[in-house]
Chains A and B, each alone.
Chain A
Amino acid sequence: MKAMAEGVCGIGPLDIRDVDRLSVKIGGQVHGYEPEVDFNRQQIALYDRFTQFTLHAAREAIGQSGLTFNDALSVRSGVVLGTAGGGVNTWDENYRTVYEEGKNRVHPFVVPKLMNNAAASHVSMAFNLKGPSFTVATACASSNHAMGQAFNMIRSGMSTVMVTGGSESMLCFGGIKAWEGLRVMSRDACRPFSANRNGMVQGEGAAVFVFEDYEHAKARGAEILAEVIGFAMTSDASDIVMPSKKGAARAIKGAVEDAGLNLDEVGYINAHGTGTAANDKTECAAVADVFGHHADQLMMSSTKSMHGHLIGGTGAVELLACIMALRDGVIAPTINYEEPDPECALDVVPNEARDANVDVVLSNAFAFGGLNAVLALRRAS
């Protein structure tokens, strides 16, 4: 959060194998991470990088929550996480083994390591979460869909606590090469809403949160960081890659309605803001349509300018900016903003964080495949 408040850019040259054969050579890579600090040799052999990131974040989140999952609470608690690719590094490394190196034998843990639910399962095992647990894969909206499920499961009474969020780690040769093919990647920087933007930049990492029934949290005197109050998901039902203004607008409006709010109560939106022409124009048009005159009053920034697009993990990392806005009154900026774009004429909090009191925020995620998921949160009371 400190880095987001200071507008630090985490995007830089990629340090990965065969980077010289890539045309996209930048990303929001996690540098200086030492798995040996968190895990023993057996665990490292079993955990893909996306699982390692998840467990690291889950330890921090659950530690901060002060919860211990035993007996009755254990069976009423679960974990629902988002990831688009799961163990992409594991796929990549083992395809090299069999195709490039011509070997006929792979490590016995390839399957349990690469499966999309590996991270959720290891979190459930590490923290004794015996209730409903699963993984959601809806491309760039995975984490928001996951957190929306966690919210609804608690609201419906199905669970008392849900560990939720998401993770992604596809900054490897095959992962980047696949994205290069679509020709929507920038080779120099992620500049959401700026007229001179030229595409998205990938990132990696994880963010995990503890969603807890409000009364349960109150009763134990927990520190409440923010309150999740609404969620909506919609499908464009139109195109596999091009976003639709109508689908996005229905999700935004739906989340506000689900929260029982008036539109003019929303003070900040954490944008999907990928830095592609298709997303940024469509997202701004959808926000303008939904909010009307109030669109000029609210702030909307894209923190992808700093951490890159974490694909299935992105909504989780971006929820940090929402919590920072509500709890600390600091709005994370859209950095790399250089030229106004008349088609993105909203207050995108350019380049520098801003102090502002906001009571209600939204977090947008619009995935390839036309699957949209928007969360609404308010300041803890």
Chain B
Amino acid sequence: MTDQILNKIKEIIAEQAVLEVSDVTGESTLEDLGIDSLGLVESIFAIEEAFDIQVPFNANDPSESTFDLSSVDAIAKAVAQLVNEQSS
């Protein structure tokens, strides 16, 4: 399940960054991939739609968010947790 989530996240991020999925690694940060604030909001929307979850994120202060955005791996881990919490 976690691999599936990671792969889907990579797809979403790659599309947003206009890159090949193979260019997106678990260690990549959104900044490395050239995703700006609007791209981030759009990525989170795509993640919410793909996994049918609510991501706690306020664009006013991304650093205050409890959702870990530090890398692609971190995002996948946070999404897996939200899927677990919110599917029940």
Contacts and interface: CB of A to CB of B under 8 A. Distances in A.
Interface of A: 181-184, 197-199, 239-242, 276-278
Nearest to B38: A241
18 contacts: A181-B45, A183-B44, A183-B57, A183-B58, A183-B59, A183-B60, A184-B58, A184-B59, A184-B60, A197-B60, A198-B58, A199-B60, A240-B38, A241-B38, A242-B38, A276-B60, A277-B60, A278-B37
- Of the candidates B45, B58, B60, B61, the one having the most CB atoms from chain A within 10 angstroms of its own CB is B60
Contacts of B41: 181-183
A355 to B, nearest CB: 33
Contacts of B59: 182-184
Given A240-B38, A241-B38, A242-B37, A277 B44 contact: no
Contacts of A184: 58-60
Contacts of B60: 183-184, 197-199, 276-278
Contacts of B44: 183
A199 B61 CA distance: 9
Interface string B40-58: 0100110000000000011
A207 to B, nearest CB: 27
Given A183-B58, A184-B60, A278-B60, 16 more contacts: A182-B41, A182-B59, A183-B60, A184-B58, A184-B59, A197-B60, A198-B58, A198-B61, A199-B58, A239-B38, A241-B37, A241-B38, A242-B37, A242-B38, A276-B60, A277-B60
Interface string B6-38: 000000000000000000000000000000011
A199 to B, nearest CB: 5
Contacts of B61: 198, 277
Q: Is the interface of A mostly helix, strand, loop or mixed?
A: loop
Contacts of A181: 41, 45
Interface of B: 37-38, 41, 44-45, 57-61
A199 B58 CA distance: 8
Nearest to B55: A183
A347 to B, nearest CB: 23
A198 B41 CA distance: 16
Nearest to B61: A277
Contacts of B57: 183
Nearest first, the 4 A-B pairs at minimum CB distance are A183-B59, A277-B60, A199-B60, A184-B59
A242 B39 CA distance: 12
A184 B57 CA distance: 9
Nearest to B65: A183
Contacts of A199: 58, 60
A272 to B, nearest CB: 15
Nearest to A279: B60
A276 B41 CA distance: 15
A184 B41 CA distance: 10
B83 to A, nearest CB: 19
B75 to A, nearest CB: 16
A104 B58 CA distance: 39
B31 to A, nearest CB: 15
Contacts of A276: 60
Contacts of A277: 60-61
Contacts of B58: 183-184, 198-199
B55 to A, nearest CB: 9
A312 to B, nearest CB: 21
A195 to B, nearest CB: 10
A202 B38 CA distance: 20
Contacts of A182: 41, 59
A253 to B, nearest CB: 27
Contacts of B38: 239-242
Contacts of A239: 38
A191 to B, nearest CB: 11
